[in-house]
Amino acid sequence: MSIRRTVAAFATALALGASGLLVSSGPAWAGVAPTQVAAAVDPCEYVFLTNGGSEGLAVTCAGHPFRAFVSCQKGDIETYRNFGALVPSGGTSTAWCTQGDFLIGGGGAQT
């Protein structure tokens, strides 16, 4: 794993951990398989996704309509945020970074 991907994976784990989530890191951070992230307080489940050079987050929440969001990094400095579809309670919303960019954070935003 390159240093950039290691830093991006660490930043994602740190961001999710700081928001009260427990991260089960494993091969997913290397882009091999999805990783389930268990919520400590948040009624949402998070799965890190990879597909052909793109990184994303699938979010399933209970209790309210919501949409997934991802914070992404392009290059060394530029960051941006993308949003998934608005879904009802119990649904799954997925948001993706642009191909080649790095996922640095994300979650479910209640609407």
Distances (CA, A) of 52 to 31, 55, 66, 99: 10, 9, 26, 8
Residue 9 pLDDT greater than 60, yes or no = no
Residue 84 pLDDT greater than 80, yes or no = yes
Mean pLDDT throughout 62-71? 94
How confident is residue 77, by pLDDT bands cut at 50, 70 and 90? confident
The amino acid sitting at 33 is A
pLDDT tens digits along 21-37: 333 333 333 343 344 44
